[in-house]
Structure 1
Amino acid sequence: MASINKKWVIQRPNEQHVEHLQKQLKLSPIAAKILVARGCQTVEQAQKILSMDEQAIHDPFLLHNMDKAVARIEQALEAGEKILIYGDYDADGITSTTVMLHTLLDLGADVDFVIPNRFAHGYGPNEQLFREAHEKGVQLIITVDNGISGIEPIRVAKELGMDVIVTDHHEAGEVLPPADVIIHPRVPEGHYPFGELAGVGVALKVAHALYGEIPTHLYELAAIGTIADLVPLVDENRYIVKQGIKHLRQSQSPWVEAFCKVASAKQAEINEETIGFYFGPRLNAIGRLGDAMPGVHFMKSEDMETAKELAELLNSKNAERKNIVATITEEAVAMIESDDKLKNAHVLVVAQEGWNPGVVGIVASMLVEQYYRPTIVLSLDTEKGTAKGSARSIEGFHLFNELAKNRDILPHFGGHPMAAGMTLAAAHVEQLQMRLNEQAKACLTEEQLIPKLTIDIPLELSEITVEAIEEIGQLGPFGTDFPKPVFALEQVKVSAMRKIGANENHLKLELDDGYCTMDAVGFNKGYLFNEISYGVALSFVGDLQINEWQNRKKPQFMVQDVQSNEWQLFDLRGKKQLVNIPQEETLFVVFDKQLVPYFEQHVPVTLAEQIVGQKPYVAVLDLPPNEERLAELLQRLQPQRIYAHFYTASSQYFSGMPTRQHFSWYYGFLKKRPNFALQQHIEPLAKHIGLNIDVINFMTKVFFELGFVTIENGLTTVVESAPKQALETAPSYKERSAQIQLEQKLLYATYSELKQWLDGQMSRED
C-alpha cells in the first residue's frame, strides 16, 4: 500500500478485562476496549473516566504560596494599585491572560494587560516592557503562562519597586526568579497533587482562590488553552476540558458564536477536535505572526460586531500563517530533495534567510511527518549573523540531550525530548548539522528510522454500530495522555470501490468480512484506487464516524492507512494502455524479444532472461512461452504485486483446435486435388469449410510435419504411401495445444481463477 514502509504496532486489550467492564458497566465492546486500552482494569478506574465530578478539582490553596498570592492581590485591590497581567503569545497564554483579566475586573481591580511580541520582545518577561509598566505606575505584575525563567527581567522589576507574582507551568530551572510569589504546580516538586496543569489551568486556580468558589464561567476559556497547549488530559485537566466543552456548547458569549462562524463549526457540536483543530490554531496564528493582544480583546468582546471583526482578524491571520507554512515547507522540501547528502542524513537541518521564525516549528513537524527524521528548521538573519528556529524529533533521539552536547556552538536552546527552540550563529549551522548527524547515527538504528503507527483497538465489523460510536463520544475528551483511539479492521476485503469528489481525490469503499459489510471513506486517498485489488485480505486503520443522510444514521469507517500481507493481482489483460503502474518500483518483463521495441515506447522493458536485481512489483507484459517460464520467474521474484498484461500478437484460443472430422475432410479434399495451389485458393476454401485461414494453414503444417503431404513451389500434394501417425505427435499440434491451454489459464481465465493459479505457482516448492 502507499504506506508500505510504515510499521504497524497493533496492541490488543486484555479480553478478560474487556468482558468484565462490558458486563459490569453495560458498555459496548468498543467502549470497553477503549477503557482497557487506556489503563482501566477495574470498574472503579473506569468510573473515574465515565463520571467525573467537581471532586476532581483540587483545593487551589494546595498550591504552594497561594495564600500569599491571594493576600497580595487583595491588598492591591483594597489600595487601588495598578496591576499588570503579563501574558504569552500562544493560545494558552492568550486564554490565561483573559482568565486573569476577567477575574480581576470582576473584583474591581485597576488592571491592564500586555503580551510580548514574539519578534520584538521574545518569549517571557521582557525588561523593556517591565520598565514601561513602571513608568505607567504599575505596582503589581502578575505573569501568566510564563515567568519561571525570567530571572533578570524580574530582578529589574523588583529593583524598580514593583512586586511580581509568577504563575507558570513550564519547566523550572535550578535557579528561580526573585519574584514575591511563585505559583507553579511543580514548584516545589510534589507539593501539589497534580503537576500537569496548563498555564490557563494555573490561572484558573488563582481565580478559584480569589473568588472563593469554582469560577465555572471561565471553564470555556480554560478548556481552549488546556487543549491547545497539549498538556495531559487526565485528572483536573480532563474535568476542566469536559466542563469547558459543555459550557462552550451553551455559551451566550459573542466570541464563541463568532469563532464558530469563521471556523464553520456548529456550536452545539463543539468538542475537543473543534478546539484543537479550529479554535487553537487561530489563536496561535496571531501570536506567530505578530501582536497577540487582539486575541485577548476578542475573548473579552461583549458585542457581536466587535467579536465578528476580531474573529475575522484571527481567521485571516490563520490563513496567512497557512500560506507562509506551505511556502516554507515547499522551499525546505526542494532544498532536501536537491541535496542527496542532506536527503540521506539522519538529521535534517534546513536554513534560509527570510523564513518566519514564528512558524518554523510547524514546518519542522511537517518535515518529520514526511521524512521521519529529526528535523531543525532555521531562519537566518544575515545582519545579525544568527540562525533562529525550532526542532522536532522522533522516538529514540532525545532532542534536548543531543542538543546539549553542542553547547559550545549552541548558546541558546531549550525544550524537551521531542521539541526544542534555539538560536545560534549562522556560521555554525553546518557544523551543528554534521555533529547531530553523527550523534544520530550512533543512537538510531535502522528499525528506529521506520515510522510506526500504533493501533490500540482492533475491531470486528459486527461490533460497529451507531449506538457504539455514540458511546465513544461519552468517553471523551480525548487528547494528550488519553489519546483518541486508533481502530483497526483486520483481514477484510473490498467488495466495491470508487473515487469521489470533484477532483476524484477521495475514495469510497464497501468493506466485507464475509459476515458483515460497512461503508468506508478515505479522504485524500483517491490514489489507493490503483493500489487496491479485489479479493485480497486487507487491514484498514482509521476512525469511526456516523454518517447521517435523510434522517438515517449509518456507521462509517474513516480510512487513515491500509496494508496487506498478501500479494496483489492487477488485471491489465486486454487493456491498450499500461497506466497507473508505479514505474520506479516495477519490473516490466517481456519474454519475446521481438516485442521489446513495441513496449519500449511506453515503459522500461527487461527481457525475462536478462533480469538483474529485484523490485517489489512485476508487470508481465506478454504471454510466456510456457507455464514453467512464468512460474520460475515468479518464484524467484516473489513480487508484492503482479500486473498481468499477457499480450500476444496471435491468440489461438478462439480459433481453437480443429476436430478430427476437420482434419479428415481436409485430407480427403487435398487427396482429390494433386498439386493444389493452397495460398491461391485459401480464402474461398476457408469460407467453404467454415474455418479461418489460420486453422487451414495449421492443418496443412501438421500434415507436412507428419509426411502426409509435400509442398513444392506453393503446391500441396498428398503422399499416399505415408505411414500412419497420430495427429497429436506433430510438433505444431503440440505447440498449438499447449498455447491454447496457456491462454485459457492466463489470458482468458476469470480474475479469481488467475489469482489462484498464480498464487499456486509462487507458493509451490519444486
Structure 2
Amino acid sequence: MIESMKTWTINRPDEHIVNLFMNELGIPSIHAKILVSRGITDLDQAKSFLHIDESCLHDPYLLFDMEKAVTRIMHAIERDEKITVYGDYDADGVTSVTVLTTALEQLGATVDFKIPNRFEHGYGPNIELFKVMKEEGTALIITVDNGISGLEAIAFAKSVGMDVIVTDHHEIGDELPIADAIIHPRHPEGIYPFGELAGVGVAFKLACALLGEVPEELFEIAAIGTVADLVPLKDENRYIVKEGIRRMRMSHRPGIQALTKVSGTEQSSLYEESLGFMIGPRINAPGRLGSANPAVHLLKTEDMMEAVSIAEQLDSLNKERQALVATIAEEAEQELIEMYGDMLPYVIVLAGEGWNPGVVGIVASRLTEKYYRPSIILSIDKESESAKGSGRSIQGFDLFKELSKNADLLPHFGGHEMAAGMSLSLEDVNSLRDRLNEQGKMAMTDDILTPRLKIDVPLEIGEIEVDVLEGLESLRPFGVTFEKPVFLIEDLSATTIRKIGANKNHLKLELSDGKNSIDIIGFGNGAIADEISPGVKLSVTGDLQVNEWNGRKKPQLLLTDLQSNERQLYDLRGIREPNRWISIIPQKNNLFIAFQEASIGHFQSLLKNVQIHQFGQVELMETDHVILLDMPESTDQLKELIDLTKPKRIYAHFHVNESVYFEGIPSREQFGWYYSFLKKRGTFDLRKQVQELSKHKGWKVDTIYFMTMVFSELGFVKIESGLASVQEDALKKKLSEAPSYQKRERQIELENKLVYAPYTELKNWFDEVCKETANREEQLWI
C-alpha cells in the first residue's frame, strides 16, 4: 500500500447533469464536471456563468449612502477642498487607493492619499495621522478598505472639522462610526444585492458612481486587489477579475508591464494565480516592511522608467520579505522542537523577540500548512513588554471563537474562524498557550487533526486533451467559492517510474489505464519512486496542465497526492548485496525476518544496526513492512507470517544458501546406475572415491551424496564411517518415500514459486494469500 499524505474526500458529480451540460452547452466532459462539482446544476445558471458580461454589475447607487457620498465629494471638488483617500497597507488597500484617487483626479479633484505604517500606526484610522492630515489642509477624508471599526479616530476627525466618508468591506461591529456616509456592501440598512466585494470593489463602485460610467481602465487594478484579498469569486467579483485579467494581458500601464517583467511573468498569459502569487505579493511587500506608498506610485505612474525603478524596488522588498519569512519560520520550528520534541501541541503558539510583525502571519500559515495545527506566531517587543502577532487555523477550530474565550488576556484581537490578529502582554503569552492547548484538546478530535483533500473532478485519461485543458480559460477565474479543480485519475499502472532533477528529488511517472497514458510530475516527491512496486494500481490527484516542449504540446498532471490500496511486493531477489537495497526500506515499522537460523548470522554481518528475527522465535504482530531475508521451509510459514503481520509492503529477498532448483532431482536412470554400481562394488568409500566417480560420470559431488542419502533412508544402503554398502534384504520402496527426496522436491517447488518465478507470478501468489487473509477476517466479523 501507498498511503496518501492527506485523507481524500471524493465527491463525484451527478453524471446525468454532466451529460445534460455536455449536450446542451456543447462543452467537454471536464468542463461540465467542474461546473456541476461547483454547485452549478441548472442549465440557465450554467449559461449565465459561461457567458458573464458587464450586465452583472449592479447599480452603484444601490449601495447605502452612495448618493450622499457622491454629493459630498462633488461639493468638495466644486469648492476645491482637499480630499485625502485613507487606505490600508495590503494589496487590497493599495489598489483601493489607486482606483479612487485616479477617478477623483479625472474629475479634477485636489486629492492625495495616506496609508498608515503597519509598525507606527497599526491598522485602520489613526488619530495621529488624522492630525497630520488636518494640518495639511484636508477637508474630506475617504477611507478605503478600512474605517468601519475606526470609531474613535473618525469621531476625532469630525471634532476638528473634517468630514469623513467610510468605504469598507470588513465585518461590521455593534456600533457604526459617526461618519458623513458609510458605503458598505453589507450595511445593516442597505439593499445591495452582493455583499462580498473586496475593499477595492467598493472603491470601484464609488468610482463608477462619481464618473457616471464604468471606468474600464481600472478593471485591471481592481482585479489585483480582489484576487489578493481572497473574497469569493462570484457575481461582480468574478466579472471584475475576469475582465481585469483580460485587460492586463494587453495593458499599456507601465506599472503592470514592469511588475510582470520583474516577477518573470508572461504578460500575455496572465491569470488569477499570477495575480495571487506573483503580482500581489510584490504589491504587498512594501507595506509588510515599511511604507506602502511606493506600491501606489507604481500603479499610478505613467512613466516607464519610474515604473521599472519602483517595480525593482518592490521585487527587492519581496525577496527581503521572503528571506525574513524563511528565517523566522526556521527559528519558530526550532523553538517548536525544543518545546515539544516529537509531540505536537494541539495549538502552536510561538513567540520570538525581533520577529517582524509584518510577516508573522505568513509564518503562521506555513506552520499550519506543514503541521496541520492552528498556529499563532507572536513578535515580542521587550521595550513595551508586549507581544503582537497573527494566527491561522484549520477546519473545525474556530480561531476567533476560541480567542474570544481568552478576552481577559487579549486587550486587542480580531479576525474570523480561520485567521486572527492579536496583541497581549508578554507575561500572558504562556497562559494563552496553555489555555488554547486545553481548548484544542477539548475541541479537536483525531479526525479534525487529519489533513483532508477535497477532490471533486474524477476523470478518465481519455477525457484529457490539450484543447480541452486550454479551453478551461472559459471557466476562469478560479478562487474562493469557485476553487481550482482538484483532478483525480484512478486505478492506473505505472509504465515508467523515474527520479528526475539534479538531486533526483523529483518524480516522473508515466501512468496507463491500458489504452491511454499520461505523464505525472511530482516536484519534491522523488522518494516516492522507491515506494512504487511494478504493476501496482495507483490513483493520483493534482492539477492538469499543458506541457509544451520543442513545439509539441501534451497534457500532464502536477502531482498533489497519490495512493494505492494494494499490498505491494518489492522484488529484491536479484540483488545479492543487501547494501544495494537497504536504503529503500522505510526506517519505521519494519520486521526483518529469517526462516533459517543460519541466515541470521549471515545477514547480521551485512546489515549493521538492523534487528533480525527468526520465524518461530518471535511473537508476530501487525506491522507496515516485512522484509523476507531467506526462503521459508513451506508456503504455510509465509501464509502464517502474512496472516499475523498484515503488512502493507512486502520486500522479498529470498536468499538461498544452497539452491537445488537448477540441479533438480537425479533421474531414475541415474539412481538405477548408481545402485547397480554400489551392488557391483559391494562397498564404496565416499570420502576417498566420490571425487573420482564425480569426474567419471560428470555428476556433482552433492548429487552423489544426495542419492546415497536417499538409498540410506529407504534401507537400500548402509553407511558406516563413510563406507556405503548395499543391503541385500532391503524391501522394495519408492524413491519418493525418502525424507531427503521429499525435502528436495519441496525445496525445488518453493524455489520455483518464490525465487525463480517471474515477478507477476510471485505477486499474484502473494495477492491470493492476502485475499485469503482478508476473507477470513471478514467472515469473523459476520
TM-score (norm 2): 0.94
- Given that residues 708 and 718 in structure 1 are in contact (C-alpha distance below 8 angstroms), is that contact kept between their aligned partners in structure 2? yes
| 2:322 partner letter | K
SS in 2 for 1:343: coil
CA displacement 1:606-644 (0-9 Å, x = unmatched): 333313543222222221121111101101222111111
| 1:481 partner letter | T
Name whichever of 190-199 and 583-592 sits farther off: 583-592
Give the whole-Å Cα distance in 2 for the aligned partners of 1:506 and 1:739. 42
- Given that residues 520 and 559 in structure 1 are in contact (C-alpha distance below 8 angstroms), is that contact kept between their aligned partners in structure 2? yes
CA displacement 1:411-469 (0-9 Å, x = unmatched): 21101111111111222222222222222222222222211111011111111112221
1:26 corresponding residue in structure 2: 26
1:63 corresponding residue in structure 2: 63
Q: CA deviation at 1:171?
A: 0.7
Residue 637 (structure 1) aligned to one of 642, 645, 660: 645
CA displacement 1:360-416 (0-9 Å, x = unmatched): 212222222222222212222222222211111111111111111111112211011
1:383 corresponding residue in structure 2: 383
1:352 corresponding residue in structure 2: 352
1:293 corresponding residue in structure 2: 293
| 1:608 partner letter | F
Name whichever of 698-707 and 23-32 sits farther off: 698-707
- Given that residues 646 and 747 in structure 1 are in contact (C-alpha distance below 8 angstroms), is that contact kept between their aligned partners in structure 2? yes
Give the whole-Å Cα distance in 2 for the aligned partners of 1:693 and 1:322. 73
1:762 corresponding residue in structure 2: 770
| 1:321 partner letter | R
Give the whole-Å Cα distance in 1 for the aligned partners of 2:711 and 2:281. 84
| 2:707 partner letter | M
- Given that residues 620 and 641 in structure 2 are in contact (C-alpha distance below 8 angstroms), is that contact kept between their aligned partners in structure 1? no
Is 1:715 aligned to residue 715 of structure 2? no
2:173 corresponding residue in structure 1: 173
| 2:331 partner letter | E
CA displacement 1:467-512 (0-9 Å, x = unmatched): 2212222111110011111111111221222122222222222211
2:699 corresponding residue in structure 1: 691
Give the whole-Å Cα distance in 1 for the aligned partners of 2:190 and 2:744. 87
Residue 594 (structure 2) aligned to one of 590, 594, 597: 590
Give the whole-Å Cα distance in 1 for the aligned partners of 2:152 and 2:545. 52
2:636 corresponding residue in structure 1: 628
2:611 corresponding residue in structure 1: 604
- Given that residues 34 and 457 in structure 1 are in contact (C-alpha distance below 8 angstroms), is that contact kept between their aligned partners in structure 2? yes
Give the whole-Å Cα distance in 1 for the aligned partners of 2:363 and 2:597. 50
| 1:587 partner letter | L
Q: CA deviation at 1:303?
A: 2.2
1:702 corresponding residue in structure 2: 710
Q: CA deviation at 1:189?
A: 5.2
Q: CA separation of 1:394/1:250 partners in 2, compared to 1, >3 Å: closer, same or farther?
A: same
2:756 corresponding residue in structure 1: 748
Q: CA separation of 1:165/1:581 partners in 2, compared to 1, >3 Å: closer, same or farther?
A: same
2:676 corresponding residue in structure 1: 668
2:494 corresponding residue in structure 1: 494
Identity %: 54
Give the whole-Å Cα distance in 1 for the aligned partners of 2:411 and 2:380. 16
- Given that residues 541 and 561 in structure 1 are in contact (C-alpha distance below 8 angstroms), is that contact kept between their aligned partners in structure 2? yes
1:204 corresponding residue in structure 2: 204
Give the whole-Å Cα distance in 2 for the aligned partners of 1:277 and 1:193. 30
Q: CA deviation at 1:354?
A: 2.1
Give the whole-Å Cα distance in 1 for the aligned partners of 2:192 and 2:345. 44
Give the whole-Å Cα distance in 2 for the aligned partners of 1:294 and 1:398. 36
Long gaps (5+) in structure 1: none
Is 1:129 aligned to residue 129 of structure 2? yes
- Given that residues 64 and 190 in structure 2 are in contact (C-alpha distance below 8 angstroms), is that contact kept between their aligned partners in structure 1? no
**Superposed, which structure 2 residues align to 1:215-614 within 5 Å?**
215-340=215-340, 343-575=343-575, 576-577=577-578, 578-600=582-604, 601-602=607-608, 603-609=610-616, 610-611=618-619, 613-614=621-622
Q: CA separation of 1:593/1:29 partners in 2, compared to 1, >3 Å: closer, same or farther?
A: same
Give the whole-Å Cα distance in 2 for the aligned partners of 1:333 and 1:343. 13
Name whichever of 720-729 and 114-123 sits farther off: 720-729
Q: CA deviation at 1:342?
A: 8.2
Q: CA separation of 1:531/1:176 partners in 2, compared to 1, >3 Å: closer, same or farther?
A: same
Give the whole-Å Cα distance in 2 for the aligned partners of 1:340 and 1:90. 34
Name whichever of 413-422 and 298-307 sits farther off: 298-307
Give the whole-Å Cα distance in 2 for the aligned partners of 1:280 and 1:269. 16
Give the whole-Å Cα distance in 2 for the aligned partners of 1:275 and 1:3. 34
Name whichever of 702-711 and 412-421 sits farther off: 702-711
Give the whole-Å Cα distance in 1 for the aligned partners of 2:371 and 2:24. 46
- Given that residues 661 and 752 in structure 2 are in contact (C-alpha distance below 8 angstroms), is that contact kept between their aligned partners in structure 1? yes
Name whichever of 752-761 and 218-227 sits farther off: 752-761
Q: CA deviation at 1:684?
A: 4.5
Q: CA separation of 1:662/1:299 partners in 2, compared to 1, >3 Å: closer, same or farther?
A: same
Give the whole-Å Cα distance in 1 for the aligned partners of 2:121 and 2:403. 24
SS in 1 for 2:453: strand
Q: CA deviation at 1:2?
A: 6.5
SS in 2 for 1:170: coil
Give the whole-Å Cα distance in 2 for the aligned partners of 1:211 and 1:746. 82
| 1:686 partner letter | S
Q: CA separation of 1:248/1:697 partners in 2, compared to 1, >3 Å: closer, same or farther?
A: same
Give the whole-Å Cα distance in 1 for the aligned partners of 2:380 and 2:336. 17
Name whichever of 666-675 and 395-404 sits farther off: 666-675
SS in 2 for 1:41: coil
Give the whole-Å Cα distance in 2 for the aligned partners of 1:649 and 1:139. 96
- Given that residues 99 and 221 in structure 2 are in contact (C-alpha distance below 8 angstroms), is that contact kept between their aligned partners in structure 1? yes
Give the whole-Å Cα distance in 1 for the aligned partners of 2:331 and 2:565. 37
SS in 2 for 1:449: coil
Give the whole-Å Cα distance in 1 for the aligned partners of 2:106 and 2:342. 56
Q: CA separation of 1:180/1:501 partners in 2, compared to 1, >3 Å: closer, same or farther?
A: same
SS in 2 for 1:447: coil
| 2:188 partner letter | P
Q: CA separation of 1:252/1:747 partners in 2, compared to 1, >3 Å: closer, same or farther?
A: same
Give the whole-Å Cα distance in 2 for the aligned partners of 1:598 and 1:426. 61
- Given that residues 587 and 614 in structure 1 are in contact (C-alpha distance below 8 angstroms), is that contact kept between their aligned partners in structure 2? no
| 1:359 partner letter | V
- Given that residues 83 and 139 in structure 1 are in contact (C-alpha distance below 8 angstroms), is that contact kept between their aligned partners in structure 2? yes
Q: CA deviation at 1:93?
A: 0.8
Q: CA separation of 1:683/1:427 partners in 2, compared to 1, >3 Å: closer, same or farther?
A: farther
Q: CA deviation at 1:755?
A: 0.9
SS in 1 for 2:711: helix
Q: CA deviation at 1:198?
A: 0.5
| 1:729 partner letter | E
- Given that residues 2 and 565 in structure 2 are in contact (C-alpha distance below 8 angstroms), is that contact kept between their aligned partners in structure 1? no
- Given that residues 412 and 423 in structure 2 are in contact (C-alpha distance below 8 angstroms), is that contact kept between their aligned partners in structure 1? yes
SS in 2 for 1:579: helix
Give the whole-Å Cα distance in 2 for the aligned partners of 1:188 and 1:55. 26
- Given that residues 6 and 561 in structure 2 are in contact (C-alpha distance below 8 angstroms), is that contact kept between their aligned partners in structure 1? no
TM-score (norm 1): 0.96
Q: CA separation of 1:323/1:664 partners in 2, compared to 1, >3 Å: closer, same or farther?
A: farther
Give the whole-Å Cα distance in 2 for the aligned partners of 1:599 and 1:386. 60
- Given that residues 91 and 280 in structure 2 are in contact (C-alpha distance below 8 angstroms), is that contact kept between their aligned partners in structure 1? yes
- Given that residues 169 and 184 in structure 2 are in contact (C-alpha distance below 8 angstroms), is that contact kept between their aligned partners in structure 1? yes
Give the whole-Å Cα distance in 1 for the aligned partners of 2:714 and 2:426. 87
Give the whole-Å Cα distance in 2 for the aligned partners of 1:196 and 1:461. 37
CA displacement 1:632-672 (0-9 Å, x = unmatched): 11012221111111122222222222222222223333444
Give the whole-Å Cα distance in 1 for the aligned partners of 2:501 and 2:348. 36
